[in-house]
C-alpha cells in the first residue's frame, strides 16, 4: 500500500483514522495522534447514535439474523473498531448483554420462532449459532475475555464442532428449529462466526476445532460450484465487496481466516485474496459493490466512489497476509 493511500485513509472518518494508525501503521494506543483519533471517534455523531441505540439492549425481538440493523451486528461493529469496557457507555451495554446467560453458557437474545418452523411462536430468551458467537466474540474484543462467564460460553460453543465444522444449532427453547439444509451439513455462517471467537481465545486459536473450521470454509471455496450447505453460496454475490463485515461474503470470510497463521499459508486462501485484490484501483482503494441500506449514511453505504471504510478492511487483510 502506498503512502498516498495511507494519507487518504488518515483523512477519513475518525474510526478509520484510528484503526489505520493502530492496525496498518502499528502506532501505540497511547500515542498522541492515536488518542486524538480515538477521542474524535467517540465524539462522532454516528458512533454516539450507535451507542445510544445499544444502550437499549437487546432492542426488538430478533427476526432476521442477516439484517444489518440487528443490535448484535452493531455490537460487533463497535467491538471491531476498538470500543471497549474502558468506555463508560460500552461498560453499561456489556452489563446488559451479559445479564441473560443460558444454562448452557451462550448469551441470549429475545427470539420468536413460529410453530411451523419448530418453535413455540412466543417471545423467549434463546440463542442460536448464528448470533451467540457474534456476541461472544464482541465481548472478548471489548475486554471480557478473562471473565468466567465468557470462558464458559466459549467452551460450550467450541464443543459443538463436528468433523465438518459447526452445525445449525440452537438452544433448547427453540425446539427443533434449524435452517434450510440437511442436518449433517455444516452451517457456513455458524462456522465462520465460531472462528471469529476461536481466533481471539489463545487456548483455542491453534486447536483442532479451529483447524476443522478453517478447512471447512476453504473446502467450500474450493468446491463453490457444487456445495452450498444451508443455501450459503460462494458465487457472484458472495464475491462482491461489502462493509461492515456482518454476513457471509468474501471480505468477512477473508477477515476472519486471516487471523489464523495456518490459514494464510493455504493456496485456497491466497486465491480468495487474489479475487479481493483484483478489485482495487491503481491506488489500492476499493469501491463497494454491494451495500447494507441501513448503513447508507456511512462512506461504505454507496457504490459510486472508493470508500475509506471498505478500503481499510481490505488493507487490514492484506497487512496480515504480508
Looking at residue 296, which CATH number applies to its domain? 1.50.10
What integer best gives the mean pLDDT of the chain? 93
Report the Cα–Cα distance between both ends of the chain, in Å, rounded.
11
DSSP state of 118: T
Q: What residues contact residue 9 under an 8 Å CB cut-off, 6+ apart?
A: 16, 17, 20, 24, 308, 311, 312, 315
pLDDT of residue 60: 78
Give residue 102's pLDDT band: very low, low, confident or very high (50, 70, 90).
very high
Structural domain harbouring 202: 3-321
C-alpha 150/C-alpha 161 separation (Å) is 18
Closest CA to 218 of 262, 154, 158, 162: 262
- Flag whether pLDDT at 117 surpasses 70: no
Question: In whole angstroms, how far apart are CA 282 and each of 1, 7, 228, 277, 286?
Answer: 10, 15, 34, 11, 10
Angle between helices 32-43 and 45-54 (to 10 degrees): 60
C-alpha 282/C-alpha 87 separation (Å) is 38
Instruction: Render pLDDT for 123-153 as a digit per residue (tens, 0 to 9).
Output: 889 999 999 999 999 999 999 999 999 999 9
Q: Tell whether pTM > 0.85.
A: yes
pLDDT of residue 119: 65
Q: Considering all CA atoms of the chain, what is the largest pairwise distance in Å, rounded to the nearest integer? A: 57
C-alpha 264/C-alpha 32 separation (Å) is 33
pLDDT of residue 23: 98
- Flag whether pLDDT at 118 surpasses 70: no
C-alpha 159/C-alpha 303 separation (Å) is 41
- Arithmetic mean of pLDDT, 244-260: 97
Number of folded domains in the chain?
Answer: 1
pLDDT of residue 19: 98
Amino acid at each position: 500500500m502506498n503512502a498516498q493511500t495511507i494519507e487518504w485513509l488518515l483523512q477519513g472518518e475518525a474510526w478509520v483514522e484510528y484503526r489505520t494508525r493502530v492496525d496498518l501503521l502499528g502506532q501505540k494506543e497511547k500515542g498522541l495522534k492515536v488518542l486524538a483519533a480515538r477521542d474524535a471517534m467517540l465524539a462522532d455523531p454516528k458512533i454516539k447514535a450507535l451507542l445510544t441505540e445499544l444502550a437499549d439492549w437487546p432492542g426488538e425481538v430478533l427476526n432476521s439474523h442477516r439484517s444489518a440493523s440487528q443490535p448484535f451486528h452493531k455490537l460487533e461493529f463497535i467491538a471491531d473498531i476498538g470500543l471497549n469496557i474502558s468506555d463508560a457507555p460500552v461498560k453499561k451495554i456489556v452489563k446488559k448483554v451479559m445479564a441473560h446467560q443460558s444454562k448452557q453458557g451462550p448469551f441470549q437474545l429475545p427470539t420468536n420462532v413460529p410453530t411451523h418452523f419448530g418453535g413455540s411462536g412466543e417471545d423467549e430468551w434463546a440463542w442460536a449459532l448464528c448470533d451467540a458467537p457474534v456476541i461472544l466474540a464482541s465481548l472478548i474484543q471489548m475486554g471480557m475475555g478473562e471473565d468466567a462467564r465468557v470462558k464458559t460460553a466459549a467452551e460450550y460453543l467450541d464443543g459443538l464442532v463436528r468433523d465438518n465444522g459447526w452445525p445449525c444449532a440452537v438452544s433448547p427453547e427453540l425446539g427443533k428449529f434449524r435452517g434450510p439444509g440437511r442436518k449433517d451439513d455444516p452451517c457456513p455462517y455458524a462456522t465462520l462466526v465460531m472462528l471469529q471467537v476461536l481466533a481471539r481465545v489463545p487456548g483455542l486459536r491453534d486447536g483442532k476445532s479451529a483447524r476443522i473450521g478453517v478447512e471447512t470454509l476453504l473446502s467450500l471455496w474450493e468446491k463453490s460450484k457444487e456445495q452450498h450447505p444451508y443455501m450459503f453460496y460462494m458465487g457472484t454475490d458472495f464475491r462482491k465487496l461489502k462493509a461492515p463485515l456482518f454476513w457471509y461474503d468474501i471480505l468477512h470470510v477473508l477477515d476472519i481466516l486471516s487471523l489464523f497463521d495456518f490459514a494464510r499459508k493455504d493456496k485456497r486462501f491466497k486465491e480468495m485474496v487474489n479475487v479481493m485484490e483484483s478489485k482495487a484501483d491503481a491506488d489500492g482503494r476499493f469501491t463497494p459493490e454491494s451495500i447494507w441500506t441501513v448503513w447508507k449514511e456511512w462512506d461504505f453505504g454507496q457504490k459510486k466512489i472508493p470508500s475509506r471504510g471498505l478500503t481499510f478492511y481490505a488493507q487490514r487483510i492484506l497487512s496480515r497476509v504480508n
